[in-house]
Amino acid sequence: MRSNNNYTPYPLICKNEGGAYNRNAMEKKKMKMGKTRNAARSRSRIYLDYASATPVDPRVLKAMAPYWDIISGNPGALHEEGVSAKQALTDARSRVAHLLHARASEMIFTGSGTEANNLAIMGTVAALERRGVLLESMHLIVSAIEHESVLAPAGELERRGVKVTLVSPEPSGIVSAEKIMSEMRPETVLVSLQAANHEIGTIQPVPELGRKVKAWRTLHKADLPYFHSDASQAALLLNVSVDRLSVDLMTLDAQKIYGPKGVGALYKRQGAVLSPVLFGGRQEQGLRPATENIPAIVGMAAALSLAFQGICALAETSGTVPPFFRGEGSERFGEWRPAQTSAEQRQCFASRPGWGIARPCS
């Protein structure tokens, strides 16, 4: 190994005045960190921000483990290690596609849900621009309560000349499919509506809107607009199979479903045309240049599989009072009242499946 006198494998605080490593200082530092962690655990805290990020399920961590060091090759390489990594990538892609009722060739892995949203929106417009369509002649329809990773790309395209219509929700928090359809124009190239809202949990009428957009295309004998849905917040509790939702493009994010951070996926219906928004290698059908993150992708596939298992099991207990609200939760947050109307149906982002409202698998 090449010697480097400036390399310090442990914080400088653990060196004594002479520059030698002080084992006692190291141990004290470790003990102090351990006490801090234990003190934090001892506090009575209930984590309620699962809409922002979930911990990684131990079963997901177990599935990822071999790909950090044992099978660590570049999936683009031709040697044995690369071939093994490529096989893991292929298996994960097939697994995700099977769960979504999609083709493996329709799944594009990305570095996040944000990147997938950008690829769906910016990539649609970029592909049309390459074909000679002027930005000024394109129109997008986006709900006004989308995640910023949808609103920001739409805003950037509007700055460049694309016409953008933001559709506001009803007082219930639901964005009306009819209201969106009333904004359709011959130059509309993309419609985007999230499956479930990340702040208030409202479940949007994505299947209904998907069918209406498809019918509009048939009526006008057109290939556009594409229908995109950001299902990042929905995949943990809802059935997001692509045939059920009638989507052309759909975003998923592993960190929302007990998977690792730093990996997402975009479903792209066969026949839908996108252009890359990042440039480099030809990975992911030329749409996402970068060496694929095999541990994270394997983890995402495992997490999505567990999420779908949980959805089906949860359908049997939908509407029952969760255990948490039979005890401490009831004392601290009030009485549990299941949703009574479709407008009240919202996702609960406070814990694992089994804690909140679920929608059936069918």
pLDDT at 75: 97
Q: What is the pLDDT of residue 349?
A: 45
| Backbone conformation region of residue 323, classed left if phi is above 0, alpha if psi is from -120 to 50, else beta | alpha
Quote the radius of gyration of the chain (alpha carbons, Å): 24
Which pLDDT score is estimated for 33? 58
Task: With beta carbons less than 8 A apart as the criterion, state whether 194 and 233 touch.
Answer: yes
Q: What is the pLDDT of residue 16?
A: 44
**According to the model, what pLDDT value does residue 322 have?**
59
- Distance (Å, rounded) from C-alpha 248 to C-alpha 200? 25
Exposure string of 134-162, with b = 16+ CB inside 10 Å and e = fewer, is eeeebbbbbbebbbebbbebbeebbeeeb
Q: With a cut of 70, list the residues of the chain below it in pLDDT.
A: 1-44, 314-362
What CA–CA distance (Å, rounded) separates 244 from 216? 18
Q: What local confidence, expressed as pLDDT, does residue 233 receive? A: 95
Token digits for 77? Answer: 């390489």
**Which phi and psi (to 5°) does residue 249 adopt?**
-140, 135
Specify the pLDDT at position 84.
97
Token pair recorded at residue 8: 């310090």
CB atoms under 10 Å from CB of 264, counted, come to 28
3-state secondary structure of 91: helix
241 CB-near residues (< 8 Å, 6+ apart): 99, 100, 101
Please give the pLDDT value at position 354: 33
278 torsion bin: left (phi>0), alpha (psi -120 to 50), beta (else): beta
Q: Is 123 exposed, middle or buried (0-12, 13-18, 19+ CB in 10 A)?
A: buried
CB 109 within 8 A of CB 100: no
* Residue in the structure block whose two tokens are 């440039």: 279
β 188-192/226-230 pair status: parallel
- Residue 310's pLDDT is what? 85
Cβ–Cβ < 8 Å for 157, 121? yes
224 in Cβ contact with 276 (< 8 Å): no
| Predicted local distance difference test score (pLDDT) of residue 45 | 77
